[in-house]
Amino acid sequence: MINIVIFGAPGAGKGTQANLLAERYDFLHISTGDLLRQEVRMQTTVGQRVKAIMDRGDLVGDDIVVSLLDRALRQRSTHPDPDSQEDPWDVERKGKPHRPEGCIIDGFPRTVQQAQTLEFIFNKLNRKINLIVAIDVPRDELVRRIHERATISGRSDDTEEVIRHRLDLYDEQTQPVLDYYRVSGRLTTIDGSGEISGTNGRICQVIDSLIVR
């Protein structure tokens, strides 16, 4: 089982790559941005609390994000029998579709504090993060892509001012997380400036090398 964290500034394509990898390797894909957007869409109490924060492009409080992440990691929705007491991570694959082989986490951690929390959560689950993939894209290209995405996504946080704020926040708060992981030797940086398929191929090469090892 391989557990991966995927990093990238807004517009780097981490969501797209995480989806492709989840499909290819049968990973459970957890995107904290998607989990939060779902809360907003469903107008839950959490959704109502986080909407304005997300619209501004600010980071949502750790208490909320961590509890959504924790719940997603323990979820049984991928298990064929939702009432089963079996750990969904340990079930036999045979005849049981959608068994997560591992997970790919996208959007978390965004701060060093969250990185430490993630280690703690995984330790408790007796699992570990094997690989951290950072998708590297120059800032000009990021801005160009987000503008392009804004015309189709309808995301309320894809406006000019908010985009700049989110990119600044990424530089300030998330880059230190990469330094944190670099020290542990699990960080791989991938050039994400070109086509989706090229970036995907480079990431798959790294994952494949871990699988055969």
**Contact of 22 with 28, CB cutoff 8 Å:** yes
Residues that bind ligand AMP (CB under 6 A): 10, 32-33, 36, 53-54, 57-60, 65, 107-108, 110, 114, 157, 166
CB closer to ligand AMP, 65 vs 104: 65
CA dist 66 → 50, 56, 61, 134 (Å): 13, 20, 9, 21
Q: How far is the CB of 175 from ligand AMP (least distance, A)?
A: 15
Query: Strand (E) positions, the chain?
Result: 3-8, 28-31, 103-106, 131-136, 187-191
- Closest residue to ligand AMP using C-beta atoms: 33
Q: Which of 7, 117, 12 is nearest to 61 (CA)?
A: 117
What are the φ and ψ backbone dihedral angles of 132, each rounded to 5 degrees?
Answer: -120, 120
Q: How far is the CB of 161 from ligand AMP (least distance, A)?
A: 13
CA dist 23 → 27, 62, 127 (Å): 7, 28, 21
CB closer to ligand AMP, 3 vs 114: 114
CB closer to ligand AMP, 176 vs 201: 176
The DSSP H or E segment spanning 54 is helix 45-56
Helix (H, G, I), strand (E, B) or coil at 21: helix
Angle between helices 160-169 and 45-56 (to 10 degrees): 90
CB closer to ligand AMP, 91 vs 150: 150
Q: How far is the CB of 203 from ligand AMP (least distance, A)?
A: 17
Helix (H, G, I), strand (E, B) or coil at 198: helix
CB closer to ligand AMP, 57 vs 102: 57
Q: How far is the CB of 19 from ligand AMP (least distance, A)?
A: 12
Query: Cβ–Cβ contacts within 10 Å for residue 63, how many?
Result: 9
Q: How far is the CB of 86 from ligand AMP (least distance, A)?
A: 29
Q: How far is the CB of 131 from ligand AMP (least distance, A)?
A: 18
CB closer to ligand AMP, 46 vs 65: 65
